Amino acid sequence: MSMAEKEQSGPALRIEGLRKAFSDVQAVDGLDLEVRRGECFGLLGPNGAGKTTTIEICEGLLEPDAGTVELFGLDWKRYAGELRQRIGIQLQETQFPDKLTVEETIRLFRSFYSRGLEQEELIGLMQLEEKRSSRVGGLSGGQKQRLAMATALAGDPELVFLDEPTTGLDPQARRHLWELVEGLKRAGRTIILTTHYMEEAERLCDRVAIMDHGREIALGSPVQLIEMMGGEEIVELGTARAANAGTARAADAEEFVEKLKAIEGVREHTEAEGTHRLAVSGLHSVAPRIFALLEAEGLHLSEFRTHSATLEDVFVRLTGRNLRDE
């Protein structure tokens, strides 16, 4: 494929063998990724998984130790000027000057691009009409984040990077921002976002890569990843021995786990801090059998929860840790 063709039709982003170490941590440890044009791609993982380092290398803000990064088939070394014009970036923790107004901030960033959206369009797109003359210092967290998105869109970018766009926002502001991101998707922009909210990735992303310790540990659409769990429902239960049933023996506990696993429809079992976690299919038939087993064993329920499997469960299954542990 020629350079020009690649630029027209190739992936929006291609990463190969990416590595980056800081003084004592291997932040990114051999990562390969491809992001298609027009898709919303999520980098998912706990804090410290290497998401931000990866995204900043893609944004041309960090130099990788090894590996290649190409945006639209162009590399940062030779095409930095062009790439800067074609991408939009929202960083994790930018604080715009408190004493500038929303309009002034947008106008400043718009002036950096040779072509792009008009100030009014940007304000409209991010629904900042009422706040146009307010100073940045007086904006809420959600409004500040929308302003950051407006500056990211100033150059009418083909590819938008959003680094943890909803971290620290209240649920209402988060949903509002999701709607705005969905608007960008409909307009056909390629979006790459990082998040540690699984819910966010499930709702917004066409595909996600789950990262841990600088590596990709799973890749696919949210639905595919959840199917990987082997069951669509998750059951969490805790047990307590009934008062009149005597003392428990270790062998009893093991036996109980074996009996749980033997129930038809239970695909997987893990146990953490006394809570059993089962991936099941056909909850309606599995649940009565669990209760029957408890009855037969003389055990009481101390907790019982079920939910549809989420990316969070995928992460727990892959790493044995909760996403927000660290």
Partner 1 sequence: MSNGWAQSLHRSSLFQLTWTRFRLILREPEAIFWIFIFPILLAAGLGIAFRNRPADVLPVGATTAQMAQALNAGGGLRTAVVNEAEGVHQLATGAIVLLAVGEPQGVRYEYDDTNPDGRAARLLADRALEVAAGRRDPLPAADRLVHETGSRYIDFVIPGLLGMNLMGSAMWGLGFSIVEARQKKLLKRMVASPMPRWQYLLSFLLSRLTMLVIEVAVFLSFARVAFGVPFRGSLWQLGVLCVLTSLAFSALGLLVASRARTMEAVSGLMNLAMLPMWILSGVFFSAARFPAVVQPFVRALPLTAAIDAMRGNMLQGLGLGQMLGPVAILLAWFVVPFGVSLKIFRWR
Which residues sit at the interface with partner 1, rule CB under 8 A? 59-61, 81, 84-85, 89, 91-97, 99-100, 104, 107-109, 111-114, 151, 154-155
Q: Which is nearer to partner 1, 122 or 286 (CB)?
A: 122
Smallest distance, partner 1 to C-beta of residue 67, A: 20
CB of 199 to partner 1, least distance (A): 26
* Alpha-carbon span 53 to 27, nearest angstrom: 7
210/230 Cα distance (integer angstroms): 18
For partner 1, the closer CB: 151 or 195: 151
* CB-nearer residue toward partner 1: 104 or 297: 104
How near is the Cβ of 144 to partner 1 at its closest, in Å?
12
- Between 108 and 293, name the residue whose CB sits nearer to partner 1: 108
Beta carbons of 280 and 265 less than 8 angstroms apart? yes
User: Of 230, 312, 317, which Cα lies nearest the Cα of 267?
Assistant: 230
Burial 248-283 (b: 16+ CB within 10 A, else e): eeeebeeebeeebeebebbeebeeeeeebbbbbbeb
State the Cα–Cα distance between residues 217 and 211, nearest whole angstrom.
Answer: 6
Nearest distance in Å: CB 138, partner 1: 13
Nearest to 52 by CA among 143, 165, 153, 158: 165
Minimum CB–partner distance for residue 63 and partner 1 (Å): 11
Distance in angstroms (rounded) separating the CA atoms of residues 151 and 165: 13
CA dihedral (298, 300, 306, 312) positive or negative: negative
d(CA 61, CA 71): 14
Distances (CA, A) of 93 to 153, 215, 236: 17, 24, 36
What is the Cα–Cα distance from 260 to 86, expressed in whole angstroms? 55
Q: What angle do CA 235, 240, 241 make, to 5 degrees?
A: 135
Q: Is 135 left (phi over 0), alpha (psi -120 to 50) or beta?
A: beta
Closer residue to partner 1 (CB): 99 or 186: 99
For 20, the token pair is: 């980056």
Cβ 159 to partner 1 shortest distance, Å = 13
> Considering the complex, what minimum distance in angstroms separates the CB of residue 113 from partner 1?
6
Q: How far is the CB of 253 from partner 1 (least distance, A)?
A: 51
Nearer of residues 61 and 248 to partner 1, judged by Cβ: 61
| Comparison of 93 and 170: residue with beta carbon closer to partner 1 | 93
